[in-house]
């Protein structure tokens, strides 16, 4: 079997489990947007934005470092596992000491809007501290499952996590209110403590799901030993901290816009606009699912094939088909925006649909950047990941701060696009100088530029007309098949 075909198979396995997970979790977006008005959903988005940034800090880039050192020091895999986990564990304990005693102060700093009292934000924070610590303890065990080639177990644990979270959300949003309204058994007890429409139940559902995930990973956790390899530990930290900064910068690009919207807009509209933006941004999930599945399959594959003679050609071929795929999804989502908007099942959110095209192209750029980033990870030049992501984070902050007061969430959407596009270009330029890979830049640019033109026509010229958009999509797909059909058939025929 060809390496490219093997890669596609691995990505498909992770992709299937990822798609199922995301489909289950995607039930929550129309559920939340139906159950909660935009201002309440704005609080939800703000809390998860802070949590995403803290998740990156607690993970400390150890997932990527773990894969790198497994292939770098194949004779000492158990020690790599021990070192990676205990770094994350110690960071999480420090985090507990720095946050739990100060929830009142933290709540005052992150509170947005005027409708939700500070004591409720304190409660939110306590739930999220638990979620963050439990999720941090699961990072390296999950990475071990991927490294051991156990995508089925990985997928099952992830699926149970999402299923528990979805089920509990359904219970709190629909089940208990229905029980109370119809005076079913248990209604009297529920009335004593249940508060209808309280967002805290969403956070409680996440906490329970994280705890169950932790319990399911106990077999991997029990393989750990309290044992350090000092020199390896030091080397792993040196390799990891630029990855941490790079990951943190990426998370900032993804989430800081929502935080800044809440802080820079007037208090009478901040919760509402954060909610509208966050809800419409969820439509881009149909592209982000593929990118996430690609990353899960790509990272261990790239490291394991780094020593192969034709690895550069393999990476370049993967890039070709990756670009084609993300561009097709980019065009397809935009062409069908009039249908997909019902994913955000509340008309009060639809005023923000204009954010979707720039956010989608931002994800196209991000996916290409993730593909390109193989060069600095394989050459142990992770400092470049720091530089590139740092530029992206600076652009995100500057553009949002300058333009949010005037343009609200549209500034955030364009900031995301500009930041990821800049990271993509910088990674390519520096990568070709330091670790050349023979990418077909002309072909890739042709697909990217043509997809942008078609999206512009579909969304802005034809005003989101579903028939015009899908006609353009079909023409684009036929053109792709015309140029790539022969090579794709050759690739699939290889054994």
pTM for the structure as a whole? 0.74
Q: What does the domain layout of the chain look like in residue ranges?
A: 3-493
The residue among 259, 197, 273, 205 whose CA lies nearest residue 34 is 197
Whole-angstrom distance, CA of residue 133 vs CA of residue 138: 9
Q: What is the pLDDT along the chain (495 residues), one digit of tens a residue?
A: 455 555 555 555 555 666 666 666 666 777 888 888 888 888 888 888 888 889 888 988 888 888 888 877 666 788 889 988 998 999 999 999 999 999 999 988 888 767 778 888 899 999 999 999 999 999 999 989 888 878 778 888 988 998 899 899 999 998 999 999 999 988 999 999 998 888 899 999 999 999 999 999 999 999 988 877 778 888 888 888 877 877 777 777 778 888 899 889 988 888 889 999 988 988 887 788 788 777 766 666 666 666 677 778 888 888 888 999 999 999 999 999 999 998 887 888 999 999 999 999 999 999 999 888 888 877 778 788 878 888 988 999 999 999 999 999 999 999 999 999 999 999 999 999 988 889 999 999 999 999 999 999 999 999 999 999 999 999 999 999 988 877 766 655 554
């Amino acid at each position: 079997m060809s390496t490219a075909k093997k890669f596609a198979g691995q990505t498909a396995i992770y992709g299937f489990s990822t798609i199922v997970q995301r489909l289950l979790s995607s039930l929550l977006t129309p559920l939340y947007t139906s159950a909660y008005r935009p201002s309440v959903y704005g609080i939800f988005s703000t809390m998860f934005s802070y949590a995403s940034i803290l998740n990156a800090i607690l993970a400390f880039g150890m997932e990527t470092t773990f894969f790198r050192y497994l292939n770098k020091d194949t004779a000492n895999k158990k020690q790599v596992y021990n070192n990676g986990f205990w770094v994350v564990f110690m960071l999480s304990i420090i985090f507990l000491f720095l946050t739990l005693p100060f929830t009142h102060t933290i709540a005052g700093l992150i509170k947005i809007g005027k409708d939700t009292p500070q004591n409720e934000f304190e409660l939110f924070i306590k739930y999220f501290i638990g979620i963050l610590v439990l999720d941090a303890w699961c990072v390296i065990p999950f990475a071990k499952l991927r490294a051991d080639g156990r995508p089925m177990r990985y997928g099952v644990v992830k699926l149970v996590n999402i299923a528990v979270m979805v089920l509990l959300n359904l219970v709190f949003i629909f089940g208990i209110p229905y029980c109370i309204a119809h005076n079913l058994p248990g209604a009297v007890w529920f009335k004593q403590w249940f508060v209808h429409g309280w967002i805290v139940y969403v956070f409680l559902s996440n906490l329970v799901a994280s705890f169950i995930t932790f319990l399911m990973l106990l077999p991997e956790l029990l393989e750990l030993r309290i044992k350090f390899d000092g020199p390896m530990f030091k080397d792993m930290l040196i390799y990891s901290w630029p990855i941490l900064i790079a990951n943190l910068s990426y998370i900032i690009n993804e989430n800081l816009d929502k935080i800044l919207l809440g802080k820079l807009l007037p208090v009478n509209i901040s919760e509402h606009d954060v909610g509208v933006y966050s809800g419409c941004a969820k439509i881009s999930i149909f592209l982000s699912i593929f990118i996430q599945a690609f990353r899960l399959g790509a990272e261990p594959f790239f490291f394991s094939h780094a020593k192969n003679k034709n690895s550069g050609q393999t990476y370049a071929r993967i890039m070709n088909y990756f670009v084609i795929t993300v561009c097709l999804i980019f065009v397809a989502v935009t062409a069908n925006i009039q249908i997909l908007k019902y994913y955000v099942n509340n008309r009060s959110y639809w005023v923000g649909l204009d954010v979707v095209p720039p956010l989608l192209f931002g994800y196209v750029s991000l996916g290409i950047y993730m593909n390109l980033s193989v060069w600095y990870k394989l050459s142990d030049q992770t400092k470049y990941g720091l530089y590139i992501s740092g530029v992206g984070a600076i652009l995100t902050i500057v553009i949002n701060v300058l333009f949010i007061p005037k343009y609200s969430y549209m500034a955030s959407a364009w900031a995301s696009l500009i930041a990821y596009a800049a990271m993509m270009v910088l990674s390519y330029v520096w990568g070709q100088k330091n670790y050349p890979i023979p990418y077909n830049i002309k072909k890739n640019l042709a697909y990217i530029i043509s997809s942008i033109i078609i999206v512009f026509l579909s969304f802005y010229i034809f005003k989101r007309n579903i028939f015009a958009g899908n006609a353009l999509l079909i023409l684009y797909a036929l053109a792709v098949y015309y140029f790539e059909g022969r090579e794709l058939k050759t690739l699939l025929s290889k054994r």
